[in-house]
Structure 1
Amino acid sequence: MFQANWTSVTDFFFLGFTHYPKFEIIIFVLCLLMYLITLLCNIILISISILDSYLHIPMYFFLSNFSFLDICYTSSALTPMLANFVTGKNSISFSGCAAQMYFSLAMGSTESVLLSTMAYDRYVAICNPLRYSSIVNRRICLEIASGSWVTGCLIALVETMPVLQLSLCGNNVINHFTCEILAILKLVCVDTSMVEFLMLVISVLLLPMPVLLICISYVFILSNILRISSVDGRSKAFSICAAHLTVIVSFYGTALSTYLKPSAVDSQEKDKFMALVYAGLTPMLNPIIYSLQNKEVKGAVKKLFIGNLLVLS
């Protein structure tokens, strides 16, 4: 069988959703709407976090980082797919595929680390409110955020580099809409057990471990919330934690079902739709979930738009 390394491949071709010709245009429209809403909502959340001085607190600093991550993550996965659909090419260059695979992994890994650190922020805010400003200060926030980004980018490098060294079987057709690492491994004709073991170890460290730490922190958080005598205080604490938990379930649930399923299970078609959820739907819903019942965010958005209208008038 013909073998070739990555450098001898000039282009890859995506199958995308060609198996569902009747639904291709619907999927394209839905992806375009998800991408535009993701951009709009996350840009608004970042803007108000920067412009409104009342939101210059750790929670919104982390949310701004989270929103920027979502924009990068969605852009790396959906933008090439949308562009290919419009042009009808359905292809990507070798360097473009390598970059897309790396950035998707880097953004996903960083998001996993950042979500777990946001649980620590909620833990300190609710369990040690009097010491919150001294424990989670500006320096600590910058260290946590930069540490999450550096960790995510390094992990993605560790995953991507071994895959780029593997030999392909002369097949450059990817059964996916993006250069997803699991779909790329399907094109490899040499033994991938070492790469798969490395991915398994990383997936366990990035998925079940953070989920376990988050669950432990929320046991303490919920026990402290139940001790709050004020009904308003309990309600506010519950709403903030519920928003974070909803995002956690959405992100880790889809990631766990994709990256920790048994290797014998061949679910490439299912993986495409799961990828649409964690690359398109979840980043779109994140800012809505966080801000839907948040009075501070609603007030900041109103001030931002009213101020702009006054300036324009």
Structure 2
Amino acid sequence: MSVLVIVECDNGEVKKSSLEVASYGAQVAAMLGTTATAVAVGEATDANLAQLGEQGISKVLYDKEPRLKNFANNAYTKLIAAAAGQEQAQVIVVANSNVGTAVGSRLSVRLSASLATNVVELPKINGGSFTVKRGAYSGKAFSDVTLSGERKIIAVKKNSLEPAHEAGKTAEVVAFQAQLTEADFADAPQQVVMQEQAGGVLLPEASLVVSGGRGMKGPENWSLIEDLAKALGAATACSKPVSDVDWRPHHEHVGQTGITVSPNLYIACGISGAIQHLAGVNSSKVIVVINKDPEAPFFKAADYGIVGDVFEVLPKLTQAVKELG
């Protein structure tokens, strides 16, 4: 019996959210008196996967089938199910990402496993009881969910915990083949475009985000957002009205109908703070709002607020970051 962790990789690197998941899975394994094994999906290197030992993973299964470089729901599901069978895994841990939630729901059916998404804490295990805490109503509330059955799948919310790090420990990387067929890749996308943000940071994985709204007055002023993002090493984002008028691409739209982010720091510039936008960002650990309207609703959700003109505040803030850096 073991805990199986799904590790997402891109360009040879393990995603930050998967480092968190690896650490979470290793801690659950310790609670159960067993070990944590990872199965890697996406493009990875053996050397990078071996470093998962620093998060407490003992072994990494890796299928080098080249078509697994890009997400294919059927293929990923079959691969992970095969790994779970080989390792006799009773607990499967995934990131609460687009990949993790899509695969998690299919695995739940295939393996007759109970599933909890958006989990924010380690489980409480008491005898045969296995209870997790999960976010609900766009992070406005929490619920305790008891998972039943022999197999359990946990989708961990991004930035819910800091990944453990024990320098020098390595995991054993083991070749693994799931005997995939052409039919397993029938639902694979024909073209995958990775949308990188300022500094090469992917928005869903970003720990720092600088976002702009209609208060920026036009796309010609977005260099102020990009300059601050570059100085911080942050991703850029925007509100829905901004993407609707094509000031910014739709993959930067954060909100209830766009991308949901959970960064350590979210800086909102010229965004009023409509409830739909808040639904996509209220899981951020720290929210900073810059707006010249002291009555802007966003200030009620902010940890820190600056009442001022973004065109005056942003250049000064960027300069201060550069001087500290």
TM over 0.5: no
Bin the TM-score by the shorter chain: under 0.3
Higher strand share: 2
Higher RCO (C-alpha 8 Å, min separation 6): 1
